[in-house]
Each structure stands twice: as C-alpha cells, then as structure tokens.
Structure 1
Amino acid sequence: MNKVFIIGLPRTGTTSISVAMLDYGFKVAHTAYTQEAFNLADIISDAPCFSDYQQLDKLFPGSKFVYLERDLSLWLPSMQMLINKMKAQLDPNTGTFHPVLKRSFNQTFELDKTDIPDALTHLEKCYLNHRQQVLSYFDGRDDLIRINIRDEQSLTKLLTFLGLEVKGTPQFPHLNIGRNVACWDEYKHPNKVSANSSGPLRRKFFDYVGKRATT
C-alpha cells in the first residue's frame, strides 16, 4: 500500500478520521500543502485530496482512497457555516489562506462562479457533483471505500479495508462538532504531519497537481 487519501468533502468527518488513524501507527496530515507533507504522511485528508484525487491516484499508484459520506440534512448547515467563516480568506486574490487550500475550495465549491456561495441549493449541487465524480472515477475498482463515520461499524470497515486487525467495535471520535473547525490544530500527537512540512521541492509535482487539477 502506498498512501491512503481521505477524499470526502470538508465537514464529513475528515478531522475525526485523521485523529483516529494516528493511534493506529499512521503518520497523518490533515491537509497537505507541500510535497514533503505528502512524502512524510501515510494518510492525507481534506485539501487538496478532495479536489485532486485523480492526480494523486496517478502520482501515488497503488494507493487507497476513502470517501466520507454524510447525510445532506447534517452536512449542508455545517458546510454553510464553514463557508461563511472562511470565504473572505478563500478569495483567490485577497485571501490569506494557503494557495493550495484556496484553489481546492474554489475549484470544488465554485466560489467565484456564484453570487451566494453559501446558498443551500448551491452547496447541495456541489456535494452531489463531487460524489458523482468520485463514484464514476472509481467505478469497477476495489481501492475505494465509502463510509459514514456515524455508522458504528464504519471504523471496523475502514480498518479491514486497510488490512489491519480489528479488536472489539472501535468507534471514531466526533470532533469539530457545531461551529468548531480547528480541533486538528489543538490535538497533540507524535504522528501528526504538518501541512507545511519543508523539504526538497520538485516543481514537477506541484505543476502536475496544481495545473492538471484545474483543467
């Protein structure tokens, strides 16, 4: 197994699954903005994985992918809150967030193509489009698993998918509940990988992920 990419959208449980995997010995990056972060981590979630999974599939052959599902009635208000909190900093020109994060969000949620980016109808369309694209891309393959972390068997299914021994009925922690968005930053663990890990850069990597992902 090469890497494990968590390609569910924000507010589907990416922080919960990232924290859970730390205790199974994996080095985990919740968001990755440098090549070194991708090199160091065994498991990478959130941006840019949810937008760039096709490119990452080619860059890291033999990897596994985890698509996180969430009931729309729960995901929509949670995502609406997140977009409202982040939209000023996601602006491609004036926002202060990392360029990889801005590109990933703007590509997936079309923030620059709609007058009301937090409209429930718009967000629902983005969710359904993303899900359909993922399912179409991985159709007929066995390297994708779909789970909903609210399902009490979901962590067992994931561990089995990753070839790990399962003891009892392990459960995912439920983090970033309500308006919380930064539990990962507050969580301390030696297996955490910084999204901005520094190391030797290969321009080809960033050209491939950054440029190809927008075509």
Structure 2
Amino acid sequence: MVEFNKVFMIGLPRCATVSTSDALGMLGIRTAHLGRIYGEHSVEHNNPKRLTRIYDQIAAGDFDLDILRECDGLADYPACSFQVLQQLDQHYPGSLFINVRRDQEIDRWLQSVERQFIGLQLIKQGKTASDEEKNFMKVMLAFREMTFGQSRFDADAYRSAYLDYQAAIDTHFMNRGAHLLQVDIQTLESHGLELLADFLDCRDQLEIGNRFPNSNHHSKRPSEAFMLALDEGRIQSQTGIVAVRC
C-alpha cells in the first residue's frame, strides 16, 4: 500500500460518502463518517459525541483532531468543507484525498440533498426529538453552513456551492495529481473498488466477488419523513419532488 498520513473522503454530502468510507474499510483503511469509525455499529452512520467534539475543535482553530488518533481519516463533514480541507491538508502533510462527484446529475444530487437535509431536520428537531438529537442537528447545521455558505437548503445556492467547490478542488490540487482521486459517482458500482485500490496501491486487498458497497440505509428515515411532510402539505419541494398523495 502507498504510504500516506491520513485519507480524507472530501466528496460533498449525498456523493456516496458512506459507501466510499465502507469501501475504504474493505481495503483496510478505517475512516470516520460523521464521527462513526468504520467497523462500529451505527444505524445512522454517525457518532454525535465525536462529531460534536470535532466541531468544537475546529471552531476553536484546533485541527489536531482527537478522532484522527483513533482512525485513518475522515469522510463527509468536516473534510468536505473547503476551508477545513485546506487546514487538514496543511496539518496532515502527505495525506490522500478522494472526491466523488455528481457533475453529470446535479439535479438528482439536489433532490437527494433536499430529501436528506430537510428530512433529517424534521426528525432531529421534531417534538419527539431527544436533547442529544437536537444538539446533533445544531452541529450538522453548523457544518452545512460551513460547507455550503448557509444551513437552510436553497436549490440555487446549493447548486452554486457545488460548482464552486468542485472548481476550488480542481485548482487546489492542480499540480498534485498523485494526492487526489476524483471519481464520477456513476462509475463506483462497476469500478469503484478497483479505482480505490489502484490509487492506494493495494490491489492485494481486493477479494474475489467483493463489490463496491451501497450503504444508503441511513437515508431511509429522513427520506420517509420528507415525503410524509410533502404529502401532508407541510413543506414544498424546491427541486421538483412530487408528493405521492395529492
């Protein structure tokens, strides 16, 4: 395997961040997705306590992150915030970066973001939400603002943020191709594991029959909450998602 300091999955939310984190785990690299380290059980693929600690450290300007003493890297927030990414790149020299993109299907990405982001808020800020859930949502909203410029979902603003982010990534790594793997999401199922293994020089970790994981179970509840609210007329979609019941 190629030598590296840390591995950061810097794809934006809803760009296969959980699946890529799990794929890296299959290759022997344990990353933390929203604080949940690969191999730990978590239905929602997060660890609120660790994620809060990550946010507190970053807010204080401390990038010697506690969690990176426990694992090999990060996926999703905070690594997908460009300002944070730059700091991680400086603080952990010799690290590798993986960016899964949805340039060819931005409209579908926006629909996925709308369902997940608003649905998660409906659950975590609802009347039955626990104090831990409400605090988790506060941290998530802070990371959203850090990443997209605003925590409230707005289709036009988030589209612009997506395009600006990808342009910034291209510029930042312009002369450092060996440190960055960029992958179109549509190629993950067929070639994702091989692309990761080649980038990391660990083809020996591939096992016959293994396929790139499709780790999307954590999205079910937020999606259901969003669709229920849409069906009941409590919310309206900005991205053309149609209610099931009229």
Using the size of structure 2 for normalisation, the TM-score is: 0.63
Secondary structure, counterpart of 1:50 in structure 2:
coil
What is the alpha-carbon distance in structure 2 between the residues aligned to residue 99 and residue 173 of structure 1?
A: 29
Residue of 27, 32, 48 corresponding to 1:29: 32
Structure 2 portions without partners, runs of 5+: 36-50, 55-64, 126-133, 223-246
What is the alpha-carbon distance in structure 2 between the residues aligned to residue 99 and residue 36 of structure 1?
A: 20
- Between 1:6-15 and 1:158-167, the stretch displaced more is 158-167
Alpha carbons of 1:56 and 1:17: their partners in 2 closer, same or farther (altered >3 Å)?
same
Structure 2 counterpart of 1:129, one-letter code: D
The percent of aligned pairs where both chains have the same amino acid is: 28
The answer to whether residue 86 in structure 2 is matched with residue 54 in structure 1 is yes
**Equivalences for 1:37-116 in 2 at 5 Å?**
37-51=67-81, 52-70=84-102, 71-87=105-121, 96-97=135-136, 101-111=140-150
Using the size of structure 1 for normalisation, the TM-score is: 0.71
Deviations 1:151-200 (A, max 9, x none): 12232111110111165685321122694379xxxxxxxxxxxxxxxxxx
Structure 1 counterpart of 2:170, one-letter code: L
**Corresponding residue for 1:185?**
none
**Equivalences for 1:196-207 in 2 at 5 Å?**
none
Note if contact 2:10-2:97 (Cα within 8 Å) is conserved in structure 1.
Answer: yes
Whichever of the two has the greater Rg, that structure is 2
Residue of 196, 201, 209 corresponding to 1:163: 201
Structure 2 counterpart of 1:106, one-letter code: E
Note if contact 1:15-1:175 (Cα within 8 Å) is conserved in structure 2.
Answer: yes
What is the alpha-carbon distance in structure 2 between the residues aligned to residue 40 and residue 13 of structure 1?
A: 23
Q: Which segments of structure 1 move beyond 6 Å, counting only runs of 4 or more?
A: none
What is the alpha-carbon distance in structure 2 between the residues aligned to residue 141 and residue 181 of structure 1?
A: 39
Secondary structure, counterpart of 1:49 in structure 2:
coil
The answer to whether residue 16 in structure 2 is matched with residue 13 in structure 1 is yes
- Between 1:163-172 and 1:58-67, the stretch displaced more is 163-172
Alpha carbons of 1:177 and 1:12: their partners in 2 closer, same or farther (altered >3 Å)?
farther
Structure 1 portions without partners, runs of 5+: 183-215
Residue of 143, 155, 163 corresponding to 1:128: 163
* Aligned residues between the structures: 174
CA RMSD across the alignment: 2.6
What is the alpha-carbon distance in structure 1 between the residues aligned to residue 215 and residue 6 of structure 2?
A: 23
Higher relative contact order (CA 8 A, sep 6+): 1
Q: Give, in angstroms, the shift of residue 120 of structure 1.
A: 2.1
Deviations 1:42-98 (A, max 9, x none): 1310110001111000110000000111221321100011221245769xxxx6227
By percentage of residues, which structure has more helix?
Answer: 2
Note if contact 1:156-1:169 (Cα within 8 Å) is conserved in structure 2.
Answer: no
Secondary structure, counterpart of 2:136 in structure 1:
coil
- Between 1:148-157 and 1:120-129, the stretch displaced more is 148-157
Q: Give, in angstroms, the shift of residue 149 of structure 1.
A: 3.8
